[in-house]
Amino acid sequence: MVYVTKIKICGLKRAADITYVNLLKPDYIGFVFAPSGRRVTKEDAKELIASLDKSIKKVGVFLNHSVEEVKVIAKVCSLDILQFHGDEDMDYCRQFQQNVWKSFRIKDANSFKEMEDYQVNGYLLDTYHKTQYGGTGEAFDWGLSSHLTRLNRDKCVILAGGLNPENVKEAIEQIQPAVVDVSSGVETHGYKDFEKMKKMIERVRKV
Ligand SMILES: O=C(O)c1ccccc1NCC(=O)[C@H](O)[C@H](O)COP(=O)(O)O
């Protein structure tokens, strides 16, 4: 089976991370502006982006920010895609020029229903966690994707949550997402790991 799954590596924060992605060329990278150990300021992100390969698309990760705040960060950092991880509703999502990916935290079959209220460019499925809104390093039950197929056949799905080089092939075969999104699974001691990122990208592109 041939898939054309794209890959996003999220949570870049060091100059070394930019050097790595410039060599490995994932399709997307993410900067986290939400509260997190991976959080960067707009000034940090702007500086990192200055040396980023132009072929790589820049995603900003937000969590219940004000519309104005998102607009300022998107402009300063020339973001291509805005990824919303909180309680942002459709009225909020339609206020931006950039493409929007909305995150849905998957817990059970009912978790997919919320997707019907949105018309966005991407539907990001991430793992439900009591206290964390993303970057958990935990996968949800991919068996639940049968509900996704039934309800949302034509949507652009971004699969996130606990992906790593060892499980990504199975995840792609089971869910066939447009994009896979990884953070914890390509880190060692909280920092992006070149070898893990390389392995991840090789696995995704060889499925
Ligand atoms: O990465 C974070 O720390 C984070 C914090 C708050 C909201 C979103 C966050 N990350 C969003 C992402 O796009 C991650 O790549 C995605 O949640 C997957 O993370 P992981 O399970 O660690 O691969």
Q: What's the pLDDT tens digit per position in 1-50?
A: 556 899 999 999 999 999 999 999 999 999 999 999 999 999 999 999 99
Rounded to 5°, angle at Cα 54 from 48 and 59: 60
133 lines ligand 1 (CB under 6 A): yes
Other Cβ atoms within 10 Å of 186 Cβ, number: 26
Tracing tokens 């499980």 back to the chain, one arrives at: 167
For residue 158, report the distance from its CA to the centre of ligand 1, in Å: 12
Tracing tokens 């070149």 back to the chain, one arrives at: 194
pLDDT in tens, 144-196: 988 876 556 678 999 999 999 999 999 999 999 999 999 999 999 999 999 99
Is residue 84 included in any domain, yes or no?
Answer: yes
The pLDDT of residue 2: 59
Domain containing residue 67: CATH number = 3.20.20.70
Note the pTM of the prediction, 2 decimals: 0.95
Q: Which residue from 32, 7, 6 is spatially nearest to 186, judged by alpha carbons?
A: 7
187 lines ligand 1 (CB under 6 A): no
The pLDDT of residue 149: 62
Is residue 55 included in any domain, yes or no?
Answer: yes
The C-alpha atoms of residue 48 and residue 170 are separated, in whole angstroms, by 33
Domains contained in the chain, number: 1
Residues 64-91 have a mean pLDDT of 98
Is residue 1 included in any domain, yes or no?
Answer: no
The C-alpha atoms of residue 109 and residue 177 are separated, in whole angstroms, by 18
Work out whether strand 191-192 and strand 187-188 pair parallel, antiparallel, or are unpaired. antiparallel
For residue 175, report the distance from its CA to the centre of ligand 1, in Å: 19
Residue 156 appears among annotated catalytic residues: no
Q: Which of 10, 77, 93, 181 is catalytic?
A: 10
Residue 10 appears among annotated catalytic residues: yes
Whether 13 and 41 have beta carbons less than 8 Å apart is answered as no
For ligand 1, atom 9, which residue shows the shortest CA distance?
134
The pLDDT of residue 78: 98
Is residue 22 included in any domain, yes or no?
Answer: yes
163 lines ligand 1 (CB under 6 A): yes
Whether 164 and 195 have beta carbons less than 8 Å apart is answered as no
Q: Which of 17, 77, 93, 126 is catalytic?
A: 126
86 lines ligand 1 (CB under 6 A): no
For ligand 1, atom 1, which residue shows the shortest CA distance?
135
Domain that holds residue 189: 6-206
pLDDT in tens, 97-148: 999 999 999 999 999 889 989 999 999 999 999 999 999 999 999 999 888 7
The pLDDT of residue 32: 98
